[in-house]
Structure 1
């Protein structure tokens, strides 16, 4: 099942030389793992709440592959180039399958509430 690496980054100014180097090198770390940028540098339209910063979203073939990419020597070698200069958060998350049904999910949650001890 497809998985995603999602970063909420909060740059504080113009990109440093290190961040530019990170941008130049990251695709080479993604290619062996089938990682593809889905959102990267796009303008964000906030329609509820607040979203200070930028969003980056990378798709991977699976959560296991996303974990392998993050732990890879190639990515760990360049990670500090971004992390030392742009504060942010990064998560890895598995996507929903094509048969995901939010109504069925709600029914399961309702059932769990009914069977939970008081």
Structure 2
């Protein structure tokens, strides 16, 4: 099932290390089937607050996303970002084709674990 790595960047920086990180990140994504879907776009907030920008990566599955994040190639460049940007990063699985929220509602009503 497709999975996504989401980065909520609370701060941004034009530091030279960030430029190097950007130059090198694609080479770390390619072996794991990762690709950018959103990169640094400031979201239009409809509810609540979202200080910062969003990065959204797509992977074939959660295992590929975790393998990318823990790969030697990515771990080597990660400090280039973390020294200069504050961020929250998560991996989340997508839903199966044909998913409908009503199925979750029915399970909730039936007392099934969600």
Mapped partners of 2:41, 2:52: distance in 1: 11
Mapped partners of 1:111, 1:18: distance in 2: 52
Unmatched runs of 5 consecutive residues or more in structure 2? none
With normalisation by structure 1, the TM-score equals 0.90
**Corresponding residue for residue 20 of structure 1:** 19
Following TM superposition, the consecutive aligned residue runs of length 4 or more in structure 1 with deviations greater than 6 angstroms are: none
Mapped partners of 1:86, 1:101: distance in 2: 37
Mapped partners of 1:21, 1:11: distance in 2: 17
Provide the aligned C-alpha RMSD in A.
1.5
Cα displacement string for residues 68-97 of structure 1 (whole angstroms, at most 9, x for unaligned residues) = 101100000001111111001000011001
Aligned residues: 113
* Larger gyration radius, structure 1 or structure 2: 1
SS at the partner of 1:96? coil
**Corresponding residue for residue 10 of structure 1:** 10
1:41 aligns to 2:40 (yes or no)? yes
Mapped partners of 2:69, 2:43: distance in 1: 25
Q: Shift of the alpha carbon at 1:101?
A: 1.4
Mapped partners of 2:22, 2:109: distance in 1: 45
Mapped partners of 1:85, 1:44: distance in 2: 21
With normalisation by structure 2, the TM-score equals 0.93
**Corresponding residue for residue 32 of structure 1:** 31
Cα displacement string for residues 43-87 of structure 1 (whole angstroms, at most 9, x for unaligned residues) = 321111110001000000010111110110000000111111100
Mapped partners of 1:89, 1:16: distance in 2: 19
Mapped partners of 1:110, 1:80: distance in 2: 46
